[in-house]
Amino acid sequence: MLSASTITITGVLFLATFSLYRWLLPKPIPGIPFNPEATNSIFGDIPSMLNHLKTHKTVSDWVLNHSTRHNSPIVQVFANLFGKQWVIINDYREAQDILMRRTKEFDKPDLLSDIFWGLSPDHHLVKPSNDEFRFQRKLMQDLMSPAFLNGVAAPQVHENFLDLIKFWREKIRLSKGHPFSVKEDVYDTALEAIWAAVFGIEETATITRNQIDLLSRMEQTTLSPMADEEATFPRAPAPAAFDAILRLADSFELLVKSPFPRAQGFIMRYMPSIRRNLKLKDEVIINQISKAEKKLADSKDKEEKFATAVDHMLRREAIAAERQKRAPDYQSKVMIAELFGLLLAGHDTTSTTLLWAIKLLAANQNIQQKLRSELRIAFAAAHSQARVPNAQEIATTQNHYLDACLEEIIRCSRTATIPSRRATQDAVVLGHVIPKGTSVLFMATGGGILQPNYKIDDKLRSQSYRNADGGKVGVWNSEDIEEFKPERWLVHNKDTGATVFDSQAGPHLTFGLGPRSCFGRKLAYLELRLGIVLILWSFKLQPVPEKYASWEAIDQLTHAPVQAYVQLAEA
């Protein structure tokens, strides 16, 4: 027979366990729709998310589906184990208001900072908007100037894309009309381009040139007798430093899909393969910094010697150190993290968007043909001289239809799908009190962008929204909002009677908004502009067989296509 003390202890333990269980259960914010079943488990919506990932490669569509399920522009999701829920905003106007005007109430992007923290804890994305954050952004401020973009980045990006054109001509020769994948080709070229802009063209060992050498020595490759089967090719080894960056970029997929990315990232730091790549990455960047240090010491502040991103960043550190009366720390963890961030974001965002561009233009032949015709007119001198436009021509020549196509590609590519912020205080959003510390996610593919707007009473909006009269950005026609239609960015100029590009014609959120928006936006536009012009100038992107034309995506650091095949013909 059990003693009274045993019964008492057992009862206390049971009550304590039950109380802990009740305490750990998700606590919904009153009034905001949620999945009722999520509140009956301490794991919230996590089982639903993991079940979704068994058959899908993306998390963003799972998040967006909650808004559709509840038919609401604001919902809450419990995917943060034992932490606060996510509040999902599926309305561009509200996202714009919070990201641009309510920066004291909402700060650093929790989702992105948690993802970066594991592999790059010193990057500015991880930090709140304080003096340290602003100092790190200032280190890179010269890199988005016209002088750097047009004078340094453009020629180097141009040269790398010309290598890609040569490589694809070798593939065309060997494939004999069969489709082939270009996914790795574009990733490699984008990394080579940003590497050259950051460290210098002479340091680019280039994977693509190795590939050209390999294929140019081949007389034939094994092809299927079926004309619609893909052609495959051997792959030349990548330089170790390039391979390390590419493998680290791939590893972000695990963090994006993890319910606890910080813990996952911390564990990944100590995995042998990732630890090895992180070490190699640091060694390569420190070596490049050392070279730039010597150049800086020899330059005697002659700005024309600052020909790369690392040159400019070291000069900024020297100026800051002198102002603060300290020794410059050129090889700090912060400097290494920011240079790694440039390589990572500079290649991943551009390559992903360019892959979607290739798919969109191949699937929309009339738009592709019109754009190519516009390019022949815009670069008439190059066309008459039977040459490709040079870097300066592409970077500085305005063409309204090209600008419209670029903007529409960025809108439809869904490259970055979920910007986020954390509430720094209790704040009211669409009539609901969002508690301090809550992560707020904004759907970059949702209401007003690639889906029709929800009808929201302006009385539910903030005072800052009403003061700005909703902002200056136009509204898309809901009837064709999901279509790829560059003309939506073209408007009639009443003064001149001309049709001109209008960047405010309607919204997209690919690069975010406000003081914490994507720092490298101008560089991404430049790389995309150069890539699309040179590819369309050289080739016709023909439709590919249906089995190679899937629109399935995968969430990594960006929202990338699973397939990227082409059938090319000389333009």
Here the tokens at position 238 are 């990548």
Q: Is the pLDDT of residue 303 over 60?
A: no
Question: Which pLDDT value is given to residue 331?
Answer: 95
What is the rounded CA–CA span in Å between residue 565 and residue 358?
Answer: 9
Question: Which pLDDT value is given to residue 350?
Answer: 92
Q: Are 111 and 80 in contact (CB under 8 A)?
A: no
Per-residue pLDDT band for 16 (boundaries 50, 70, 90) equals: confident
Q: How far is CA 41 from CA 44, 86, 143, 189, 513, in A?
A: 5, 16, 49, 47, 36
Q: Are 514 and 337 in contact (CB under 8 A)?
A: no
Mean pLDDT to the nearest integer, 533-540: 98
Per-residue pLDDT band for 85 (boundaries 50, 70, 90) equals: very high
Of 288, 339, 369, 303, which is closest to residue 571 (Cα–Cα)?
A: 369
What are the residues whose beta carbons fall under 8 Å from the beta carbon of 297, sequence distance 6 or more? none
Give me the domains of the chain, ranges plus CATH numbers.
141-416+510-570 (1.10.630.10)
3-7, 108-112, 165-169, 316-320: lowest mean pLDDT where?
Answer: 3-7
Mean pLDDT to the nearest integer, 6-30: 77
In order, the DSSP letters of 143-189 are GGSHHHIIIIIHHHHHHHHHHHHHHHHHHHHHHTT--EE-HHHHHHH
Mean pLDDT to the nearest integer, 486-492: 96
Mean pLDDT to the nearest integer, 328-344: 94
Mean pLDDT to the nearest integer, 191-208: 81
Per-residue pLDDT band for 346 (boundaries 50, 70, 90) equals: confident
φ/ψ of 237, rounded to 5, equals -65, 145
Question: Which pLDDT value is given to residue 9?
Answer: 73
Mean pLDDT to the nearest integer, 223-239: 93
Of 423, 433, 352, 478, which is closest to residue 92 (Cα–Cα)?
A: 478
Here the tokens at position 434 are 């969002």
Q: Are 442 and 95 in contact (CB under 8 A)?
A: yes
Q: Is the pLDDT of residue 118 over 90?
A: no
What is the rounded CA–CA span in Å between residue 336 and residue 348?
Answer: 18
Question: Which pLDDT value is given to residue 5?
Answer: 75
Mean pLDDT to the nearest integer, 473-492: 96
pTM over cut 0.85: yes
Question: Which pLDDT value is given to residue 108?
Answer: 85
CB burial string 483-507: b at 16+ within 10 A, e below = ebbbebbbbeeeeeeeeebbeebbb
Per-residue pLDDT band for 541 (boundaries 50, 70, 90) equals: very high
Segment of 173-182, 247-256, 289-298, 412-421 carrying the highest mean pLDDT:
173-182
Mean pLDDT to the nearest integer, 132-146: 91
Q: Are 35 and 75 in contact (CB under 8 A)?
A: no
What are the residues whose beta carbons fall under 8 Å from the beta carbon of 276, sequence distance 6 or more? 244
In the chain, what percentage of residues exceed pLDDT 90? 73
Here the tokens at position 3 are 């003693």
Instruction: Read off the pLDDT of residues 35-44 as tens digits, 9 standing for 90 and up.
Output: 999 999 999 9
Q: Are 447 and 92 in contact (CB under 8 A)?
A: yes
In order, the DSSP letters of 193-251 are HHHHHHH-GGG---HHHHHHHHHHT-S-----SSTTSPP----PPPPHHHHHHHHHHHH
Segment of 5-19, 161-175, 196-210 carrying the highest mean pLDDT:
161-175
Mean pLDDT to the nearest integer, 464-481: 90
Here the tokens at position 556 are 């990594």
**pLDDT, mean over the chain:** 91
